[in-house]
Chains A and B, each alone.
Chain A
Amino acid sequence: NAGVTQTPKFRVLKTGQSMTLLCAQDMNHEYMYWYRQDPGMGLRLIHYSVGEGTTAKGEVPDGYNVSRLKKQNFLLGLESAAPSQTSVYFCASSTSGRGTDTQYFGPGTRLTVL
């Protein structure tokens, strides 16, 4: 049981390049989330999904797109990277939204945009 895994761990992009971050969970969780963490700020929600085939915007969605084609995977895309997107990105997952709602986090992806 690996929990929540993220690929890649590190990435450096040039301004304008695109990339996709992959999140996978093996806990059969319905809900999945993408956060970013910046120095001096709390974790902020980018997008989330309440089930396969669904996505919704969080607090800071601009410049990102997401897809949830399979229940266990949640992809975060940057179509045209900007230096302001330099951050550490965390994926999380939780159960159905009823009950405890505990979110379990992956190890993170450190992204630098030059």
Chain B
Amino acid sequence: EDQVTQSPEALRLQEGESSSLNCSYTVSGLRGLFWYRQDPGKGPEFLFTLYSAGEEKEKERLKATLTKKESFLHITAPKPEDSATYLCAVQAYQAGTALIFGKGTTLSVSS
């Protein structure tokens, strides 16, 4: 069964304190791994897509990496505006375009 597990469920950081969010996945044939950001009361906002192990993508203070079993979202010197829930999702070849989501990691950054 295709599955996505995110950890930790919640993370509290001080402004400038770098950390990483984890997304472990089990899927029969990975087509793509997606990271989204979701603010309270809003829809998920697309951040990155990773397709193969070893791939990395960056956007401002965020950097996503991918291995054969997990993905990390590294947050460097976070600011309060980075506070949000970060969602990870995978797409398997056999499942067509359907995304399987993890439960998310809620990040709080205080000044």
Contact = CB atoms under 8 A, between A and B. Distances in A.
A42 B42 CA distance: 15
A101 B43 contact: no
Please indicate which of the listed interface residues B31, B43, B91, B104 has the most CB atoms of chain A within 10 Å of its own CB. Answer: B43
Contacts of B103: 40-42
Chain A interface, DSSP helix/strand/loop, else mixed: loop
Interface string A72-114: 0000000000000000001000100100111111111000000
Interface residues of A, number: 25
Nearest to A105: B43
B44 A101 contact: no
Interface stretch (B10-18, B53-61, B64-72, B93-101): B93-101
A31 B45 CA distance: 17
Interface string B65-92: 0000000000000000000000101010
Contacts, number: 57
Interface string B27-70: 00001101010000111111001000000000000000000000
B110 to A, nearest CB: 24
Nearest to A110: B41
Chain B interface, DSSP helix/strand/loop, else mixed: strand
Contacts of A43: 44, 87, 89, 99, 101
B104 A108 contact: no
Contact of A97 (B34, B87, B97): B97
Interface of B: 4, 31-32, 34, 36, 41-46, 49, 87, 89, 91, 96-104
Interface of A: 4, 31, 33, 40-45, 48, 50, 58-59, 90, 94, 97, 100-108
